[in-house]
Amino acid sequence: MNEPATALSLCSIGRIERNGEHRRVRIDAPYRKGLVGLDGFSHVLVLWWAIGCDDPEARALLQVPLPYAPGHTAGVFACRAPVRPNPIMTTVCEVLGVDEEEGIVLVRDIDAFDQTPVVDIKPYYGITDRVQAPRVPAHAEEWPMWFPPEGVGLDPEEG
């Protein structure tokens, strides 16, 4: 039996800024006090809204071909595709600096386009945000175990 969807309320707390070589998360003024103490962390999880996939057709897709694994299709909950019922994405970002007054979190890279709405920022904790021996499907077994220092974001020409 299908239950009716529960209505939720989300609001953007800021935007991604991709200006030349700079990658920033700019937090809106009402939320800047939430940045206190963030400068003590080397990495954050940035949750952002995939605005290019926020339409009824994209939200209805439940299976997608995997661009990084030709010939494979996966359910949207088994991949990181931006097309999904709620286009909430997450990126682990290295923090290069925090300016609480201006609401800027300078990050090494992020795979979100310029002016993408930010839903939340969470500090990265090794104890809760990684596991020793994750299991992945065969098409992802050759991927590196650790996030590369240069990031895996968009090409500079793209964003």
* Residues 12-25: tens digit of each pLDDT: 999 999 988 889 99
**Are residues 63 and 113 located together in one domain of the fold?**
no
Q: Which residues pair with 75 in a beta bridge?
A: 63
Max avg pLDDT among 62-71, 118-127, 129-138: 118-127
Q: What is the pLDDT of residue 151?
A: 67
Task: Show the CA angle centred on residue 49, arms to residues 87 and 72, nearest 5°.
Answer: 40
Kindly state the percentage of the chain with pLDDT values over 70. 92
Distance separating alpha carbons of residues 36 and 20, to the nearest angstrom:
27
**Alpha-carbon separation of residue 85 from 37, 46, 116, 123 (angstroms):** 33, 19, 18, 25
The residue range of the domain holding 91 is: 25-50+87-126
How far is residue 27 from each of residues 54, 95, 96, 159, measured CA to CA in Å? 22, 14, 15, 19
CATH number at residue 101: 2.40.30.70
Query: For residue 133, what pLDDT band results from cuts at 50, 70 and 90?
Result: confident
CA angle 31, 52, 79 (to 5 degrees): 90
Same domain membership, residue 115 and residue 94: yes
> What are the distances in angstroms from CA 127 to CA 35, 41, 92, 132, 136?
21, 14, 15, 10, 20
10 found inside a domain? no
Q: Does 107 score more than 90 pLDDT?
A: yes
64 domain residue, yes or no: yes
Residue 154's pLDDT is what? Answer: 65
Q: Which residues pair with 48 in a beta bridge?
A: 89, 118
Q: How many domains does the chain have?
A: 2
Name 65's Cβ contacts closer than 8 Å, sequence gap at least 6. 72, 73
20: in domain: no
Please compute the mean of the pLDDT values over residues 84-100 and round it to a whole number.
96
Contact residues for 74 (Cβ-Cβ < 8 A; gap 6+): 63, 64, 66, 81, 137
Instruction: Write down the pLDDT at residue 53.
Output: 93
Tell me what the pLDDT averaged over the chain comes to.
Answer: 90
* Residue 110 scores a pLDDT above 80: yes
Are 81 and 95 in a shared domain? Answer: no
Q: What is the mean pLDDT of residues 3-20?
A: 91
